[in-house]
Amino acid sequence: MNSSEIDLPADYAELLESLKKRVRSARTQAQRTVNALAIELYWSLGKDIIIRQDKQGWGSGVINRLAADMRQAFPEMKGLSPRNFQYMTAMVRAWGEGANVPQPVAHLPWGHIRTILDKADTAEERNWYASAAVQYGWSRNVLLNMLMNRSMERTGAAPSNFTNQLAAADSELAQQMAKDPYNFEFLGLSGEVAERDLENALTGRITDTLRELGPGFSFVGRQVHFEVDGDDFYIDLLFFHVEQLRYVVVELKTGKFQPEYAGKLNFYVALVDDVLRRDFHNETVGILICGTKNDRSVRYSLGRSTSPMAVAAYTYDKLPADEQRALPNEGHLVAALEWAEPGSEGATGD
């Protein structure tokens, strides 16, 4: 009799799933522990090297010799290359020289830390991307994409009336949803594009669209239909923010912002708030995404709106030549992403 013919207990399937879940959880916890210990080790090594660099003037020659001797002593250990030692000192200098690894750096894989050190120029940027990567569980690929697309600079940058229409704490949360500008380069569009074509492209690449909108967005539908006493209305894109428990109405305009656009969005937000919102939901907000905008006109329009709304621009063309040159080439990207998944060289590799 083979295993497939055994008369299994009634609760076997449930027990199997429970045990598998426990094993996966234990493996994940073990990987996190190993990673945290590795980062603590790298932090201590970096501190010791910095002390000698500052007091004794250690140069690259000494670092190269140290790396060679350490690799000879621990041939099976990854992460003891001269370049990695340079990253260790860079990590300590970037996040302070305290006794312990600061949060959230201690929870980041080594590859993430190296990527942030390579691409973030200021302490504010390093802290923002480190915190976001831990909070949202970004992979290295997503982290690199967020850095290259200047997500920190754009997050919360759209002009809005949230402070006037929402309570203070709620206003701050809502503001973080509204980027300016949105980067739709992943759509591969160029030149003049009709609004329906832009909408089709965004929904056709919904995973990328949700990533650009930011963490917490869930897609509800496009051209969502509402009937008001025989009149038909269609919302371009409707989302639900699962962290903030609110609907988000997104209207698309490919041209320059016009004041009447705010009036239409104001109506749609009020409509969704009345028809779809439940008692446990927070207030519905609207985001108008247009080709270009005059911020002064936007402020006048939002000042008279009764619904919480923001107005942002978007871009989908490739960056100018000078900015393109500042981006990493294929070789740089391969180097940045060369580490494997946790459990191999990923957490502590060269």
Domains and CATH numbers, the chain: 21-148 (no CATH), 154-319 (3.40.1350.10)
Q: What's the pLDDT score for residue 236? A: 96
Q: What's the pLDDT score for residue 318? A: 53
Distance CA 41, CA 79 (A): 11
Q: What's the pLDDT score for residue 27? A: 87
The 217-228 sheet, strands edge to edge: 182-183, 309-315, 285-292, 246-256, 231-241, 217-228
Distance CA 123, CA 95 (A): 8
Tell me: the pLDDT tens digits for 84-137?
999 999 999 999 867 788 889 999 999 999 999 999 999 999 999 999 999 988
Return the sign of the alpha-carbon dihedral for residues 60, 62, 63, 65.
Answer: positive
Structure tokens at 120: 């973030």
Q: What's the pLDDT score for residue 4? A: 58
8-state DSSP, 96: -
Distance CA 176, CA 135 (A): 14
Q: What's the pLDDT score for residue 132? A: 93
Q: What's the pLDDT score for residue 263? A: 95
Q: What's the pLDDT score for residue 3? A: 54
Distance CA 293, CA 274 (A): 29
Q: What's the pLDDT score for residue 350? A: 56
Residue 165's φ and ψ, nearest 5 degrees, are: -105, -15
First to last CA, the chain: 50
Q: What's the pLDDT score for residue 192? A: 83
**Among 235, 203, 207, 238, residue whose Cα is nearest residue 220:** 238
Q: What's the pLDDT score for residue 331? A: 41
Which segments of the chain have a pLDDT < 50?
A: 1, 319-347
Structure tokens at 31: 């990987």
How buried is 75 (Cβ within 10 angstroms: 0-12 exposed, 13-18 middle, 19+ buried)? exposed
Tell me: the pLDDT tens digits for 200-211?
999 999 999 999
> Can you spell out the DSSP letters for 254-323?
EEE--HHHHHHHHHHHHHHHHHT--TTSPPPEEEEEEEE--HHHHHHHHHT-SS-EEEEEEE-SPPPHHH
Q: What's the pLDDT score for residue 343? A: 38
Residue 236 belongs to what H/E stretch?
strand 231-241
Distance CA 95, CA 136 (A): 21
